[in-house]
């Protein structure tokens, strides 16, 4: 049986669920369309960092120095599958165009209002979803193995300080005191003190599903196959079923580009794949109290509670549906074993998810340029767990004709629908 609604939300990850909840709060009749597979959501498997300071995109001026190693697949932060490159050429060109200091600084300034509102939006959502005990102002650490690596991040510190992002610089001794679980000697660390984190983000997503249902939101389980304008509204096709709605929110994470393509929008986006695996901390180890980005290993170590650590890999540029390649997570796990006192893996297989990535590190949030009643909310890349809840509030503003409190012009879809200016 087909369903009708005021608005259909496509995708039930952090962005789609937060949007669906915020839309219900505005009194709209909402249907959320999602296959309902918890582990298929990138929102399930991330590091849980919610940071005001996450304003510096991957496309940085440092790219050019690292490019030779990246191209040889010799840096574990990035792994490129060459056969996939032709398919993401627009993304790669935009990425290179964005890797300039002026663009980096502009992206940081544009992202700050979004990341600055992220923790507050998480607190509001967690209070309603009953997950406040999973959220904390833990801070997060970026650790550097050498003084040279620390010195190379000077521009990052300059930009963060310029935006009033609070951080402390720790030497090796101060780091051991701050985070005694780290046994590897590091030269320096940056402790971002305003940062929060969510333990087991997948539980937050589950709680949001329950909250949405409790608010009277409806769900249709299944993958949306096509979006089509119909009679002044929209037909959201799921195989032989359909949802008819006046408006649609496209929030299907890394699948969004493909669905938009069906309407003629060719976004320069990519799936930045990433892996995680859980390990038990040795019972004699002090607990890990906050997420740690080991810049030398290109990986994150994030505490998930009850002595469990989630080891997360860097970026793999490959087709979303391609078979897993465990090279990076195996390297990250080996490095993690030298950084923390770890027992054996707790999962049989590493988890694999796809960051819905844009080349300039900013999400796509806004009305579709050529279709009424279609709102884009995807492309949150490395910060979608952080900024999902606040994006939901923006989506609800857009759907109800209000001006969002946060400037969204820099997130306009149009910028990724044209060829980049390389010079
Ligand atoms: C290793 C790793 C570490 C990360 N660490 C962090 C971090 O610390 N902090 C942070 O903020 N972010 C982090 N991220 C990024 C973050 O996880 C993502 O940006 C965020 O989860 C994106 O949310 P989303 O709702 O857009 O997508 P998703 O969570 O992927 O949700 C998309 C949903 O759409 C559904 N869908 C797909 N196709 C269809 C279809 N055809 N029809 C209907 N539904 C469909 C999917 O099944 C899924 O449920 C990390 C990501 C990775 C991979």
Is 422 a member of any domain?
A: no
Q: What percent of the chain lies above the pLDDT cut of 70?
A: 100
Q: What token pair was written down for 209?
A: 């599903």
pLDDT band at 423 (very low <50, low <70, confident <90, very high): low
Q: Cβ of 290: how many Cβ atoms within 10 Å?
A: 22
With 0-12 / 13-18 / 19 or more C-beta atoms within 10 angstroms meaning exposed / middle / buried, residue 154 is exposed
224-261 per-position pLDDT tens digit: 999 999 999 999 999 999 999 999 999 999 999 999 99
Average pLDDT over every residue of 252-280:
98
Query: What CATH number corresponds to the domain at position 151?
Result: 3.50.50.60
**Residue 388: CB within 6 Å of ligand 1?**
yes
Whether 308 shows a pLDDT value over 90: the answer reads yes
Whether 380 shows a pLDDT value over 70: the answer reads yes
Average pLDDT over every residue of 386-402:
98
Is 215 a member of any domain?
A: yes
The domain in which residue 9 lies consists of 3-416
Whether 92 shows a pLDDT value over 70: the answer reads yes
Ligand 1 centroid to 118 CA: how many Å?
Answer: 16
Interatomic CA distance for residues 182 and 109, integer angstroms: 33
Is 35 a member of any domain?
A: yes
Residue 354 pLDDT: 98
Average pLDDT over every residue of 38-48:
98
Number of domain units in the chain = 1
Residue 358 pLDDT: 98
SS3 287: coil
Rg (the chain; Cα; Å): 21
Average pLDDT over every residue of 127-143:
97
Phi-psi category of 420—alpha, beta or left, where left has phi over 0 and alpha has psi -120 to 50? beta
Average pLDDT over every residue of 125-134:
98
Is 421 a member of any domain?
A: no
Q: Which residue has a Cα nearest atom 15 of ligand 1?
A: 382
Residue 280 pLDDT: 97
**Residue 211: CB within 6 Å of ligand 1?**
no
Residue 419 pLDDT: 86
Is 349 a member of any domain?
A: yes
Ligand 1 centroid to 76 CA: how many Å?
Answer: 22
Is 74 a member of any domain?
A: yes
Is 423 a member of any domain?
A: no
Contact 361, 91 (CB under 8 A): no
Ligand 1 centroid to 44 CA: how many Å?
Answer: 7
pLDDT band at 214 (very low <50, low <70, confident <90, very high): very high
pTM for the model stands at 0.98
Q: How far is CA 212 from CA 32, 125, 196, in A?
A: 9, 11, 24
Q: Which helix (H) or strand (E) holds 10?
A: strand 3-10
């Amino acid at each position: 049986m087909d369903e009708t609604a005021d608005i259909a939300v496509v995708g039930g990850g952090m962005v789609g669920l937060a949007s669906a909840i915020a839309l219900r709060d505005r009194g709209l009749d909402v249907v959320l369309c999602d296959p309902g597979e918890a582990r298929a959501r990138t929102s399930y498997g991330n590091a849980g960092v919610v940071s005001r300071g996450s304003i510096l995109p991957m496309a940085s001026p440092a790219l050019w120095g690292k490019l030779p190693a990246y191209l040889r697949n010799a840096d574990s932060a990035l792994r490129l599958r060459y056969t996939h490159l032709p398919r993401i050429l627009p993304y790669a060109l935009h990425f290179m165009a964005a890797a300039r200091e002026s663009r980096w600084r502009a992206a940081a300034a544009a992202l700050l209002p979004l990341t600055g509102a992220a923790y507050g939006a998480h607190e509001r959502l967690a209070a309603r979803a009953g997950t406040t005990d999973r959220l904390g102002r833990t801070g997060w650490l970026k650790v550097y193995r050498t003084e040279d690596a620390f010195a190379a991040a000077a521009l990052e510190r300059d930009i963060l300080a310029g935006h009033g992002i609070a951080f402390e610089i720790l030497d090796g001794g101060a780091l051991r005191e701050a985070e005694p679980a780290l046994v590897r000697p590091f030269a320096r660390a940056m402790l971002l003190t305003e940062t929060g984190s969510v333990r087991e983000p997948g539980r937050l997503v589950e709680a949001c599903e329950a909250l949405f249902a409790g608010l009277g939101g409806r769900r249709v389980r299944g993958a949306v196959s096509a979006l089509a304008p119909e009679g002044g509204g929209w037909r959201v096709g799921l195989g032989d079923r359909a949802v008819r709605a006046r408006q649609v929110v496209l929030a299907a994470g890394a699948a969004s580009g493909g669905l938009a393509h069906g309407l003629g929008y060719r976004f320069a986006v990519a799936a930045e794949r990433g892996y995680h695996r859980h390990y038990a901390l040795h019972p004699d180890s002090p607990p890990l109290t906050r997420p740690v980005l080991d810049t030398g290993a290109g990986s994150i170590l994030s505490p998930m509670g009850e002595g469990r650590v989630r080891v997360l890999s860097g970026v793999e540029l490959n087709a979303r549906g391609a078979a897993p390649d465990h090279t990076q997570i195996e390297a990250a796990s080996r490095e993690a074993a030298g950084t923390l006192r770890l027992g054996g893996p707790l999962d049989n297989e590493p988890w694999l998810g796809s960051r819905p990535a844009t080349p300039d590190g900013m999400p796509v949030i806004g009305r579709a340029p050529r279709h009424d009643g279609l709102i884009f909310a995807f492309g949150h890349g490395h910060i979608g767990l952080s900024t999902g809840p606040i994006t939901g509030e923006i989506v609800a503003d857009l759907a109800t004709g209000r001006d969002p409190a946060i400037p969204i012009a820099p997130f306009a879809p149009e910028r990724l629908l044209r060829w980049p200016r390389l010079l």
